[in-house]
Chain A
Amino acid sequence: MIEQSKGRDSLKILAALRDYGIYFALVAVIIVFAAVSPEFRTRENALLVLLQVSVTGIVSIGMLFTILTAGIDLSVGSLLAVAGLFSAIFAQQDSPHFNLWLAISVPILTGLLGGLLNGSIIAGAGVNALIVTLGTLTAFRGFAVWYRVNPIYNLAPSYRLIGQSAIGPVPVPVLFLLATAIAASIVLNLTRFGRYVYAVGGNQEAARAAGINVRLVKLCVYLISGFSVGLGALVFTSRLGAAQAISGQGLELQAIAATVVGGASLFGGKGTVSKTLVGALIIGVLFNGLVMLNVSSPVQQMVIGAIIISAVYLDGILKQKG
């Protein structure tokens, strides 16, 4: 009897590790930095980390939707540059084009348009998402550079409030991130569409047999990814105070890393918003903490790479045992 309950306990621990392992990992990383560096464990620095992951976090959540359907969106970084330039055009101080509402809405629209383009090709023609978004990654970047090589700067103070101000102690970009996360959680957990997203990723044929419009679901996840890129572009541009055609290079890899570290499966059907956020936070905390400790960037890259691999490795091991 005792033996059996012991066995059951260790199974429970294993199950808990499998479900919450990523949270333990985040806590462990935080504890290590807090122990080594007193400046790390301040409220200001905690808020700074949240601020620094806000753009990646928002884009990662959009990326999660595409990954849940066994898709992917490699075009996010390039699309962010295009949306950022279009936002900045209307945000420039002393410009005849200045219009705060357009500066806020145009990047979102741009993101949606980019998502529509990706989604309609992937869903409509049934082409592999990796190939389609690899194409748009190149095309969007080309467009950004063709449209404007030199940075757009001197952005109006009212516009810069979006990325550079705080409500109470909390930076506004962090509120954008939280709002995105809550909205995405509601959509994924409490709506029929959310169940469809998981179903399409879990087994596309079964989903189709169950009467789900798979194409429509696929189109929608790329629209959602585009939307979050637009929102990310708005936050990014206003936080940096400038838009550049070369912005957002490599953002797709950061966003994919955040979702995968957060336990999402590239084969679809598995992953949650909260764990994706934790994935983004682990990478953000590592960057912040390692810079504070003045660790050089090649070493930072090795550490962050090792953490990503060990997270995925642990996930694989635990899945086998579970």
Chain B
Amino acid sequence: MKNSFRLNALSLLVMLAAISACKTSKAPGQAPKELEKESVIGVSYQNLAFPYVAALQKACQNQAQKLGVKLIETDACNDTNKELENVERMLGQKVDCLAFEAASLDASVASIEAANRAGIPVVQFNGKANGGDYVTFVGSNQIESGELLGSWLADFYKNSGKDKLRGIYLRGVPGQVTDIARNDGFKNKLKNNGLIEKVQLIEQYADYDRGKGQSVTESILSKDKNFDFIIANNDDMILGALQAVNQAGLTGKLALVGVDGLPETLEAIKSGQIAATVFQDPEAQGAGGIQACVDHLKGIKLEKQILIPFRLVSRENVDQFIEIAKRVYVK
């Protein structure tokens, strides 16, 4: 007993020391050194065919201009072989730091390890790989986006005045990491609010695809039009569902909620066609990634994880998000 108590106390001490160590390292005591020459940051994007990643790129470029650093940018096109080739080429070009958005949880580790061998520091942003040494990760916790979907539903339930609700839940790609995290966050929140018994969900995958979101919703509504809401794990699927809802003559009868905060969704929230979305912030993630590279090169110590919070967007607060979207969703 005594021994284990001592052990606990010891581990508590170690933990406290660790926490305070973190704190001191964050404190602005040490003078950051000035960069001697114009730094070059190599950026590896996951797939620039996605509007979100294109917005991330815009945010990186804006921040690089602001800080006066040069970017060398590459697109992995969701292909980890190409990702590794890109990274090796940038390492050959002697970049000072690598800002890395992982295309895959496991297969992207090879790229990070290549940078480790070359002695180039790695900052991960938005997507994080499961290994290799890195300075920090700037991004969002995907479970949180699911939790916000759950909080929205809990509020919706309270305000509905009904005892039971029926809804459609459109999932992304089966087995994909983000989809699993969002589902877990969402279901946990429902459980914590005691809503599992109160809410009946029809659940279908629609591959994050707008056309598939439309046809899946059409087929579900063809069987049964008696639903209160549709929640989707991304905005594209909810925008497809919106078309199906309008076609079925149910305009305004179902509350629709997505995740991402694409400009189109934000406008639909403003006009009342979509109830809410969970905003994932490409500006904070992209700018944060570049900032972290520069801070590291200046010798500032960074925490291992810089979290960019998700935020729930509804009609009341939509305007501020439209402003952000205008700056980064440009192409």
Binding site for B on A (CB under 8 A): 37, 39-40, 42, 44-45, 48, 51-52, 141, 145, 148-151, 153, 164, 236, 239-242, 244-247, 249, 287-288, 291-292, 294, 296-298
Contact = CB atoms under 8 A, between A and B. Distances in A.
Contact of B331 (A39, A149, A164): A149
Contacts of B215: 52, 287
B211 A240 contact: yes
Interface string B197-218: 0000011110101110011101
Nearest to B75: A145
B211 A151 contact: no
Given A149-B331, A294-B202, A297-B205, A246 B220 contact: no
Given A39-B222, A39-B223, A39-B224, A149 B214 contact: no
Interface residues of B, number: 34
Contacts, number: 87
Given A240-B240, A241-B243, A48 B174 contact: no
Interface stretch (B6-14, B44-52, B61-69, B92-100): B44-52
A37 B210 contact: no
A151 B264 contact: yes
B205 A148 contact: no
A229 to B, nearest CB: 15
A247 B214 CA distance: 13
A209 to B, nearest CB: 46
A150 B247 contact: no
A246 B49 contact: yes
B216 A291 contact: yes
Interface string B236-277: 100110010001000000000000001110000000000000
B54 interface: yes
A240 B243 contact: yes
Contacts of B203: 294, 296
Nearest to B51: A150
A48 B209 CA distance: 19
A287 B222 CA distance: 13
Contact of A151 (B51, B204, B218, B222): B51
Interface string B142-174: 000000000000000000000000000000001
A141 B77 CA distance: 11
> Which 8 pairs from chain A and chain B are nearest by CB?
A297-B205, A291-B219, A149-B54, A39-B223, A145-B49, A292-B223, A149-B331, A150-B51
A244 B210 CA distance: 9
Contacts of A291: 204, 216, 219-220
B101 to A, nearest CB: 15
A276 to B, nearest CB: 20
B125 interface: no
Nearest to A51: B218
Given A148-B331, A240-B210, A298 B174 contact: yes
Given A150-B329, A236-B211, A48 B218 contact: yes
A298 B51 CA distance: 27
B222 to A, nearest CB: 5
22 contacts: A39-B222, A51-B218, A52-B215, A52-B219, A145-B49, A148-B331, A149-B50, A149-B51, A149-B54, A150-B54, A150-B331, A151-B51, A164-B243, A236-B211, A240-B240, A249-B209, A287-B215, A288-B219, A291-B219, A291-B220, A294-B203, A296-B174
Contacts of A242: 210, 239, 264
A148 B215 CA distance: 24
Contacts of B214: 239-240
Given A148-B331, A149-B48, A52 B218 contact: yes
Nearest to B242: A241
A141 B329 CA distance: 20
Contacts of A40: 223
A241 B246 CA distance: 11
Contacts of B51: 149-151
Given A240-B240, A292-B223, A296-B204, A247 B211 contact: yes
Given A145-B48, A149-B48, A297 B174 contact: yes
A48 B222 CA distance: 8
B160 to A, nearest CB: 23
B281 to A, nearest CB: 17
